[in-house]
Amino acid sequence: MRTIRVETSAATILLTEAPEPKVRDRQSGEIAKDAVSGEALMTIGVVYIEEGESSLIKVTVPESGVSEGLALGAPVSLPGLVARPWESVFNGQQRHGIAFRAAAVTPAAFPAAMGVSA
């Protein structure tokens, strides 16, 4: 299915949930792995704020892409952020949504206030 690049340069992204392993199978506890590299995957929660609107989203990142120094409530950068629409049938019910994935999550700085002169 098609992936859509997400432009983040005008957004403020704040970490709301610390990285934790992405579970592939809840019954067995199996951790999800990248289909190409085999690397373990992690999920984080962020609030994505742009143009006065915000959304809480979960983002999948490879374990090696999780940087040190992440703090809850602090701004982060999500290089290579993409969105992928998905749909499936679970217990006879049609489900759909958007999955987000980034190459990494790194600490960032709060953006400078726009239109403020010193």
pLDDT tens per residue across span 62-74: 999 999 999 999 9
Instruction: Tell which wins on pLDDT, 103 or 112.
Output: 103
Residue 92: C-alpha distances to residues 88, 89, 95 (Å): 10, 6, 9
pLDDT(116) > 90: no
The average confidence (pLDDT) of the chain is: 91
pLDDT at residue 115 in the model: 47
Instruction: Tell which wins on pLDDT, 88 or 110.
Output: 88
What is the average per-residue pLDDT within 30-55? 94
What is the average per-residue pLDDT within 32-39? 92
